[in-house]
Amino acid sequence: MINYLSPEVLLFAYQQGLFPMAESRDAKQIQWIQPKKRGIFPIGEFHISKSLRRALLKNDYSIKINSNFPKVIEKCADRNETWINSDIYDCYCKLHQDGFAHSVEVWKDSQLIGGVYGVAIGAAFFGESMFSGESNGSKIALAYLHDRLLKTGFLLFDTQFLTEHLASLGAIEITQDEYLTKLETSLNKNAKFVDTNYSVDVETIAHRSTQTS
């Protein structure tokens, strides 16, 4: 795989099951990753804990789509160690301008307190990174993202790796072969991330799958 990023290269890579990472924010080289085990959220099986349900129903926040995509990436990269370097930042911002990369943002009192961003191709959504500025910020963003993917016809929600945090929300791990099969099926279908017919109801999201903790 070539060692530079462009929107065209990135879209091609996703369709082969690859995604980019840098060693650090100052790294000049891009690594192309294809894990032997892949994390995904099965569409329709997102887990809402009781504590997350309470946070959702408190409804003291607003959800925005693509209102400040660059800021979401900046927040995701604002940590001691990050794989998001300047090339990755610039390329995803270009993908956003081209209509492929999207952000789900949680706002409270004019402050961005949580968010997630990723790339949509066909009926596949490739989650890239997320952040929390307040408790439950990223979880709220993920809950609304999952609801959007479910209602707008997406078949694959790729999380790249499975973490304990994602597993608590219902993510699972599958083999590379299983992933590539799901990927091919999803790429051959159409879904519309920004769909004017989409409507959201926090009660539906909060009660979809309530867990015990």
Position 78 in a domain: yes
Which H or E element spans position 103? Answer: strand 101-108
Burial (0-12, 13-18, 19+ Cβ within 10 Å), 191: buried
Position 27 in a domain: yes
pLDDT attached to residue 213: 43
Cα(161)–Cα(172) distance, integer angstroms: 9
Position 83 in a domain: yes
Q: Which domain range does residue 170 map to? A: 7-207
Mean pLDDT by 10 residues, the chain (213 residues): 82 97 89 96 95 96 98 95 94 98 97 98 98 96 98 98 96 98 98 94 83 45
CATH number of the domain bearing residue 49:
3.40.630.70
Position 81 in a domain: yes
The domain total for the chain is 1
Position 1 in a domain: no
Position 126 in a domain: yes
Which H or E element spans position 100? Answer: none
* Pairing assessment for the beta strands 124-132 and 156-160 based on DSSP bridges: parallel
